[in-house]
Amino acid sequence: MSAVRTFAEIPAALLALADAQEGLLSVQQCDRNGVDHSRRTHRVRAGLWRVAARGVVDTCPVLPGARSASDLPQRPVAPLVVTDDATAWARSREAWAAARRSRSPADRLFDHLRRRSAWAGMLAYGPDAIAVASCALACHGVEGLPVHIAPQAALPTGSRRRSKAGVRLRQFDDGMMTVAFGDRRTGVRRIASAERALAQAVPELPAMHGLAVLDSALRLEVVSRAGAARAHDHARGRRGVAARHELWDLADPRAESPLESFGRWQCIEAGVPPDTLQRPVRDRHGRLLGVGDMAWELNGGGWLVVEMDGYTWHEGDAGRARRDRDRDNDFAAAGIHVLRFDARHVREHTVGTRVRSFLG
């Protein structure tokens, strides 16, 4: 009868560090805490840990693409937009409220996957590694990125080292500013400033996501209008930016979610950009009935309003759905036409075509 294999307990300090780093640990961190190569190998072979990249282990045994909200770390390092950093005083109350708003389980899972990529890049290249591009934006709390972003980092010395499997090592930009990221568990790490990260990421992202991250950065006041303009200047000359210049002109902090940005971009692509965003709708007595996400003024009077319905607003909440139906009826009585779309319509790329069909 074979003996049941047991595993030595992992030090609590190392588990706390993994929790801070979205479940990831570097082999150097493991070695310093007494978890040597042999112990790591045994845990990986037993399916308790996974290899995330060369020199990086994942303490969550579930594949990233198969994870649910129950697999998330309890206390990861928070994004910079909701921590007390040196620029916190400059953000408006509205920006802080937007950054702190309640997140759905799906959104929290996606945030984890993005910041996991950022940590994988930093841990793969040691304590001097800097998160850049989309990875840095994820650490800044900017929304609208694809769910799966490639781990990437840069080294401040312009190292000749090559990229490791699964992690891209980028050239350190001349004059790139960095900001501190981390907490007492991780120590100070460095990530590209929001301005520089936007300049690096937007030319590489699909246009729909590029617009969404610019909208989000302005809405959350991660950058100012002047900062976004400087990011545009930093991006000039980069590969892919020629097809993305218009995104900086289109960026609008009134977009309240990436879903709204995605829907707006599809309308722009279809040749029917909205006339305005967040349009108040009132009845004939001046009473506010609601605010439309996007609106078009119709020939002969009246308006078309498009509402982008996110998961957290409707799924499993009959009361909210009923209130929306009542509001749609109020809009109709006020001469407002309403079209509603959700993430499925965005995935099917039908928002713009349906709006164009309605406008005729």
* Cβ pair 60, 67 in contact under 8 A: yes
- Angle at CA 345, nearest 5°, toward 117 and 339? 130
Q: What is the pLDDT of residue 160?
A: 62
Strand 276-282 with 130-131, pairing: unpaired
Q: Please, where are the H alpha helices in 202-271?
A: 207-219, 225-235, 245-250, 258-269
Average pLDDT rounded to a whole number, residues 112-133: 95
Lowest mean pLDDT among 20-29, 92-101, 214-223, 270-279: 92-101
Three-state secondary-structure class, residue 345: helix
* Cβ pair 181, 189 in contact under 8 A: yes
How far apart, in whole angstroms, are the C-alpha atoms of residue 49 and residue 62?
A: 9
Residues 204-231 have pLDDT tens digits of 999 999 999 999 999 999 999 999 999 9
Average pLDDT rounded to a whole number, residues 69-81: 91
How far apart, in whole angstroms, are the C-alpha atoms of residue 223 and residue 225?
A: 7
The amino acid at residue 34 is G
Q: What is the pLDDT of residue 312?
A: 47
Domain boundaries, the chain: 12-63, 80-253, 262-359
CA proximity to 115, closest of 204, 20, 44, 233: 20
Cβ atoms < 10 Å from Cβ of 313: 16
Model pTM score: 0.90
How far apart, in whole angstroms, are the C-alpha atoms of residue 304 and residue 226?
A: 33
Of the chain, the percentage scoring pLDDT greater than 70 comes to 90
Given a cut of 90, whether residue 59 has pLDDT beyond it is yes
Average pLDDT rounded to a whole number, residues 172-180: 87
What one-character-per-residue DSSP string does 54-75 give?
TTEEES--S-GGG--GGGS-SS
Q: What is the pLDDT of residue 5?
A: 62
Strand ranges in 28-135 using DSSP code E only, listed in sequence order: 50-53, 56-58, 130-131
How far apart, in whole angstroms, are the C-alpha atoms of residue 262 and residue 249?
A: 16
The helix (H) or strand (E) run that includes residue 303 is strand 303-309
